[in-house]
């Protein structure tokens, strides 16, 4: 277990109010205030332009979110977005990859063959049972014909 793990306990209504105050302060400080600044900067830059609409606070917050997430994605070393050249695989890695692909293909083919054998056996059983039923019906018809002929005599 991590020894640096901290547990926050909230006791009573004062603790709940303090937690709400802290959360609202963080939201105001890191989301609403920068959004408000973005809104005013946008409106100040484009106030004389009739082609660009002015922003409200919600649009300012969205603009701030776009800016913040873009900066985070470009400056984070572990981000999924990266710039650089691709080194490629070494010949040994390619051989290993091809060997694993062949093994998985062989396993898949074996599985398909096993399924095909099961299906063939099921069909053969069904065909045999249908033929047996036909033979039994034919024998019953012959017996019933013989009985009717005996009754006629």
* Tens of pLDDT, residue by residue, the chain (153 residues): 567 777 778 888 998 999 999 999 999 999 999 999 999 999 999 988 888 888 999 999 999 999 998 888 777 666 555 556 566 778 888 899 899 999 999 999 999 999 998 988 888 888 878 888 788 888 877 777 777 777 776
**In the chain, where are the structural domains located?**
12-75, 90-153
Token pair of 123 as six digits: 């069909």
59-70: per-residue pLDDT in tens?
999 999 999 988
Q: What is the pTM of this model?
A: 0.44
pLDDT digits (tens, 9 = 90+) for 75-101: 766 655 555 656 677 888 889 989 999
């Amino acid at each position: 277990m991590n020894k640096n793990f901290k547990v926050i306990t909230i006791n009573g209504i004062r603790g709940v109010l303090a937690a709400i105050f802290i959360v609202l302060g963080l939201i105001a400080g890191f989301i609403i205030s920068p959004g408000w600044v973005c809104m005013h900067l946008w409106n100040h830059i484009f106030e004389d332009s009739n082609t660009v609409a002015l922003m409200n606070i919600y649009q300012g917050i969205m603009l701030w979110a776009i800016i913040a997430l873009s900066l985070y994605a470009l400056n984070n070393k572990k981000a999924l977005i990266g710039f650089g050249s691709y080194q490629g695989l070494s010949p040994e890695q390619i051989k290993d990859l091809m060997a694993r692909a062949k093994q998985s293909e062989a396993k898949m083919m074996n599985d398909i063959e096993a399924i095909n054998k099961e299906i063939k056996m099921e069909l053969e059983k069904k065909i045999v049972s249908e033929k047996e039923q036909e033979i039994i019906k034919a024998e019953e018809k012959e017996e019933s014909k013989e009985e009717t002929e005996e009754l006629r005599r």
